[in-house]
Structure 1
Amino acid sequence: MQFMSSWATDDRRTLLHFSDSSMETFCQHIQIRDVDCEAGGLLLGSVHGTHMLIEQATVPTAWDKRFRYLFERMPFGHEAIAQSRWTTSQGTVRYLGEWHTHPEDHPHPSGLDRTEWKRLSTKRRDKRPTLAVIVGRKSLYVELVPNSGHGLVLTPVE
């Protein structure tokens, strides 16, 4: 499976690029078989004005709750990685958002996803929108979610 690694808002004011390692993480967790559980993690990277470089997608930990149609990220593990990356990068690599999978070809956010994304955006100290990514079997869903709950959906860039 080959997803596009560069994304943009319709007005091209916000560009976003996923590193190869982030894309590999997404591809390794696609729910191909009927028994595959949802997976997810954090999106860590750097901000360049309105643009973002996603350098790492954390992988599910042993503490996360994984089911066919539900992924619940537990703080253990993910937050330690985020804190470590923040410290070693002297504050340039930071938490940008979250990703998880859906067992559908072209994923769309559920009501639960929207509620969670709004909660995460409201909690952010830097007041930036939360980057929300859903990994489907054939495509990604990418949205920048402000604390109002509905944000800008990004589309792939050739």
Structure 2
Amino acid sequence: MGSFFIFGLTLYTNQVFHGGLWGTLHNKSVKPKLEITEGKLNENGLSFDVFRVEGVDVYGAWIIGIELKDAQNNVVMNYTQDQLAKLPEHAIENYYIAKVKPGKHSLIAPLGAKAKMKFNSSDILKLPSGTYTLKMTDISGASWEHQINK
């Protein structure tokens, strides 16, 4: 009787947490998930915190694009994967042992990494007041957005 209970509990948790036997199977460790917070746009430039909260733990999220759009959806800043791979050390301020860092072809964010990103190009410094949307794109096609007011 106890083994049937354990078997039933296992099927139940598989169904609830992963979509199991009935429904769409979902595994949170397959695709990365980033959280973007603390977005600021001021006389010092653009800064924001990025935190990798989900995904495969042995691989990083490979960020291939960071862009900033104005309220009319015009791109006012765009960093490509090649530019992100060459970011200087002073543009990334890591909080934890797991570090967001430039890789060979993109920006790498391993699981558990949290960092403050800083961009201060002349284009960013000249932006007028308004609402902007920051978008980060992973190589998997997943993207995350964050609203920033200046």
Task: Identify, as 1 or 2, the structure richer in strand.
Answer: 2
TM-score calculated relative to the size of structure 1 = 0.28
Which of the pair has more CA radius of gyration? 2
